[in-house]
Amino acid sequence: MFISIDSLEDDRLEDYTHLTDVALRRKLETERGLYMAESSKVIMRAIEAGHVPRSFLTAPKWLDQLTPWIEQACGSPDGGDVPVFVADEPTLEQITGFHLHRGALAAMNRPRLAEPVSLLRGARAGHGARRVVILEGLVDHTNVGAIFRSAAALGIDAVLVTEDCADPLYRRSVRVSMGTVFQVPWTRIGKLSDSIPRLREAGFTTAALALKDDSLSLDAFSQLPVCNGRDSRVALIMGTEGDGLTDHTIAAADYSVVIPMGGNVDSLNVAAASAVVCWELRVRD
């Protein structure tokens, strides 16, 4: 149903208030089981992935562009029982605290996360994942979103994130990923000390990206049979922006791998590094 909004105090907009307060949003989105999809393109990708909207918030000039996705998700161009809040752009800015990119937001029900082994087995239309990225302890939502975008573009079949990693469905992560967080299957895992043995049992070779003297160069690693064999399965582990991976994780992995650097540069930003490694380790067939 279309609902015109002219009051900033409308209680029905609870999902959309305080969007700029990161700590508050984490708490509210967890409690309410929701996340925010921002822009028509991101909303489109969320709906294409089968996610269910709680409501929409948009400016009148973007309504026509949004209507096909409202109809696809709700079965009716006006949203049926799902509220479609409509307000002019100045009012939207006052409600959300920022300028809406392409004038649309949707509060989406957060989907239930899959069990990790089941997720990997179900990837590639049930043929199973061959390339996996694991994120340990990343705290920057921008980096998480950028890594998902690279993963989607460069043939990564699944992403696993540790419990202390930033939320891939947080508004900034989703926006930076351009909605590709809905394309790449992902779920959360517990301690890598428990997860690495399970990955090994599932046939994966684990590689920790680490600045160690004994790390194997990426180009040399990519030439090993475990990477270029017909049925090769590789899980790349990337660590937090500051300290990188823990020593325990590096020791538990099958290989320690480093991107060769020049120009007196010791390393790349984790998002840039992920793109380089995903490209080099892509499945060629």
Residue spans of the domains in the chain: they are: 2-109, 116-280
**What amino acid occupies position 245?**
L
Instruction: Please tell us whether the domain made up of 2-109 is placed in CATH 3.30.1330.30.
Output: yes
Per DSSP, 99 falls in state: P
| Token pair listed for 285 | 């067939």
Per-residue pLDDT of the chain (285 residues; tens, 9 = 90+): 999 887 767 788 888 876 666 666 677 777 789 998 988 889 999 999 999 999 999 988 889 999 999 999 999 999 999 999 998 888 777 776 665 656 788 999 999 999 999 999 999 999 999 999 999 999 999 999 999 999 999 999 999 999 999 999 988 899 899 999 999 999 999 889 889 999 999 999 999 999 888 899 999 999 999 999 888 999 999 998 778 899 999 999 999 999 998 888 878 899 999 999 999 999 987
**Beta strand ranges found along 5-94 (DSSP E):** 34-38, 53-58, 84-86
Instruction: Please tell us whether the domain made up of 116-280 is placed in CATH 3.30.1330.20.
Output: no
Contact 157, 285 (CB under 8 A): no
Strand partners, 4: 86
Q: Cβ contacts of residue 256 below 8 Å, gap of 6+?
A: 207, 208, 210, 212, 214, 215, 216, 250
Lay out the sheet containing 186-189: strands in order across.
186-189, 158-162, 131-135, 234-238, 205-209, 255-258, 216-217
